[in-house]
Amino acid sequence: MSVIETTPSREGLPLLVIPNCVPVMVKAFRELLPEFDGICRVRLFTDTMLDEEVLARRMKGADAVIVVGFHVGDDLLRTMSQTVRCIAFGGTGVDNYVNLEQAKEYGIRICNIVHYGDAAVAEHAIALLMEITRRVGEMNADMHEGVWHPLDGMELYGKTMGIVGFGGIGQWVARIARGFGMNIKVWSRHPHEEAMRELQAASVESIHDLFASSDVVSLHLAYNRNTRGIVTADDLDALRAGSILINTARAELIEAGSLAKRLEKGDIYAGLDVFDREPMPEVDPLRVVPGTILTPHAAWCTDTAVRNAVRQCIDSVRGFYTGEATNVVV
């Protein structure tokens, strides 16, 4: 662990603390920290830390905090509220990372980041899909072991891509899928009429109908109290044999425990980048059920998306100090 500080001697300036950092974001933060010169002091901790007591100590005396990769529980938020008046989250769906009503009562501004990695996440969703349908990684491993064994695959041309949620990422996935010659079906809580026309997408009445009529289903809903468990065991049972489920959104969108049970039947496939517990425990049924491709919540990890995320965090805090409102949730 190392600590990067800017102008630590200027104690008259307010203090911004980044108490925990994802390794891939450290470089981008370091490059942009000079933008706070004359506005505030900055204290950046470059390690990944989840211990609330340690985090609380690191944030002591901070006026603003950038939160990356950890939940702010009610007790931690209460401690932070003694001095903190702005929290900028390095993610979009913040209401499951912090109690927004409690933050509002404390007078803490909450900011998020939006559309920072739409293309990155969409491309990763398609990468998971391609690994399932063409098994490139599996054949590559065989080739490096000296095994020449072509594996059969599945063509995507003419198949139906069902998309749950049709915001920025969902629309990117649809564009790529259209490029493969796939038909697009969409279930969305919000109308996106222009994008639906552009992508020749058909709307369906329910998630269940989408699961029952698609060859591939990709989840792209924001996670909140209204979408928790929105995909039920009954929906998963509607998947036809040979169907593929892709989830680069949030694991909690799926009814707890139901996906592993569905995959145990061995007749569908899943490409997953998100899990109920992260990091994923060593003992987890999703590690051993058949037909799964797993990645460690990496869909957003591209150079462009990382810099976009850091850029928005910086802008949100600068706005707080300069009297502007940038990506304010509450």
Which active-site residues does the annotation give?
250, 278, 297
Closest CA to 67 of 310, 330, 323, 239: 310
Q: What is the DSSP string of 233-300?
A: HHHHHTSPTT-EEEE-S-GGGBPTTHHHHHHTTSS-EEEES--SSSSPPSS-GGGTSTTEEE--S-TT
Give the whole-angstrom CA distance, residue 163 versus residue 195: 13
Q: In this structure, are residues 326 and 315 in contact, taking their beta carbons and an 8 Å threshold?
A: yes
Give the whole-angstrom CA distance, residue 50 versus residue 259: 27
- Strands 160-164 and 216-219 turn out to be parallel
Q: In this structure, are residues 62 and 88 in contact, taking their beta carbons and an 8 Å threshold?
A: no
Write out the two tokens for 161. Answer: 């891509």
Question: Distances in Å between the alpha carbon of 315 and those of 13, 66, 217, 230, 308?
Answer: 18, 11, 35, 33, 10
Give the whole-angstrom CA distance, residue 304 versus residue 285: 33
Q: In this structure, are residues 77 and 101 in contact, taking their beta carbons and an 8 Å threshold?
A: no
